[in-house]
Amino acid sequence: MVKTACERPEIRGRSLSQWDCMELARRLVDEGLATSISSETVRRILFHHKIKPWRSHMWLSAKHPGDEAFHECVASLIDPHTRSLGPHEIVLSLDEKTPLQPRPGICATKPAKPGNLPNLVEHEYKRDGALNLFAAFNTRTGQVIGRCRSRERQKELISFLDHVDREIPPEITLIHIVRDNVGAHHGKEVQKWLKKHPRFQFHSTPVHCSWMNQVEQWFGILQRKRFRFADFPSKETLNESIMQFISEWNKHAHPFNRSTKSAAKIMAGAPVKKAA
């Protein structure tokens, strides 16, 4: 049983993503290893061996090992995230959330009612295009600057950066922007814009480490609190609702804790492959 549980189901001729107790019990009987066995017995045996084949986590294979460049990149992000900032600088985490679709329902969503009656959501919906949300999350205050655009090219990113530039007072002379490695963030037009706006300084997350960009955590909150039901009647209403959510969030905004201790855990899990 332990051997089977530690193998992918395809190897055993089963079209499954992963094993569960019921499927393992059936497999043991099919292979003649047991005349009968319950899923509860399987669970107890797996518990004894500390095996949970129904769980999964994302990981980065050895084809992309941690190296000195990775550590330098992470270290460059740790500094602006954890040190005390001067009165002249801020750190913004920037990214895009795409695509956001209105999906107007055939019938309007009905709210919850007394008697344990839940929200009622019509399962049929129409489509009305999509929007892309450009957002910058202030890592010290939790405040968010956001704008929706119909596309996510360099042109739209530059337009959003211009908006950020106008929103931040001139006494802030150093604006750290944490971004991921999507192509639009590194394009020639964006680089030209940066040269004309010296108070902006970009910091890129390592490859496959977009989770280090704090605005991704805020996107998760937005998704959970505002897009549980995406029954907006139009893109215009969707845009207004997102802007209203940002305004309401900013009234009670809070940052996400990042410390040198949490950063040390990231560094410890990334083996260094020194350059030859």
The reply to whether 125 falls in a domain is yes
The reply to whether 273 falls in a domain is no
pLDDT at 110 over 80: no
The reply to whether 276 falls in a domain is no
pLDDT given at position 267: 55
* In a shared domain, residues 135 and 260: yes
Q: Which residues pair with 201 in a beta bridge?
A: 176
Give a three-class secondary structure readout of the chain. CHHHHCCCHHHHCCCCCCCCHHHHHHHHHHCCCCCCCCHHHHHHHHHHCCCCCCCCCCCCCCCCCCEHHHHHHHHHHHHHHHCCCCCCEEEEEEEEEEEECCCCECCCCECCECCCECCECCCCECCCCCEEEEEEEECCCCCEEEEEECCCCHHHHHHHHHHHHHHCCCCCCEEEEEECCCHHHCCHHHHHHHHHCCCEEEEECCCCCHHHCCHHHHHHHHHHHHCCCCCCCCHHHHHHHHHHHHHHHHHCCCCCCCCHHHHHHHHHCCCCECCC
* In a shared domain, residues 103 and 26: no
* In a shared domain, residues 37 and 87: no
Q: How far apart are CA 115 and CA 160, in angstroms?
A: 47
Compute CA 80 distance to the chain's CA centroid, rounded to the nearest angstrom.
20
* In a shared domain, residues 178 and 98: yes
* In a shared domain, residues 106 and 208: yes
* In a shared domain, residues 44 and 74: no
Q: How far apart are CA 153 and CA 146, in angstroms?
A: 16
The reply to whether 34 falls in a domain is yes
pLDDT given at position 127: 73
The reply to whether 173 falls in a domain is yes
Q: How far apart are CA 263 and CA 203, in angstroms?
A: 16
The reply to whether 98 falls in a domain is yes
pLDDT at 126 over 60: yes
Where residue 59 falls (left for φ over 0; alpha for ψ -120 to 50; beta otherwise) is beta
The reply to whether 59 falls in a domain is no
The reply to whether 54 falls in a domain is no
* In a shared domain, residues 19 and 134: no
* In a shared domain, residues 72 and 44: no
Residue 120's φ and ψ, nearest 5 degrees, are -110, 120
* In a shared domain, residues 169 and 245: yes
Cβ atoms within 10 Å of 119's Cβ, excluding its own: 11
Structural domains of the chain, count: 2
Output the domain CATH number for residue 118: 3.30.420.10
Least confident range from 159-173, 228-242, 254-268: namely: 254-268
Q: Which residues pair with 144 in a beta bridge?
A: 137
| pLDDT tens track for 203-224 | 888 777 777 789 999 999 999 9
Q: How far apart are CA 145 and CA 139, in angstroms?
A: 12
* In a shared domain, residues 134 and 165: yes
| pTM, 2 dp | 0.72
Regarding beta strands 200-204 and 174-179, do their DSSP bridges make them parallel or antiparallel, or are they unpaired? Answer: parallel
Contact 42, 25 (CB under 8 A): yes
Q: How far apart are CA 37 and CA 30, in angstroms?
A: 11
Q: How far apart are CA 246 and CA 249, in angstroms?
A: 5
Residue range of the domain that includes 253: 68-268
Contact 197, 171 (CB under 8 A): no
| pLDDT tens track for 169-202 | 999 999 999 988 787 888 899 999 999 999 999 9
* In a shared domain, residues 82 and 193: yes
* In a shared domain, residues 158 and 212: yes
Per mean pLDDT, which of 33-47, 51-65, 96-110, 203-217 is the most reliable?
Answer: 33-47
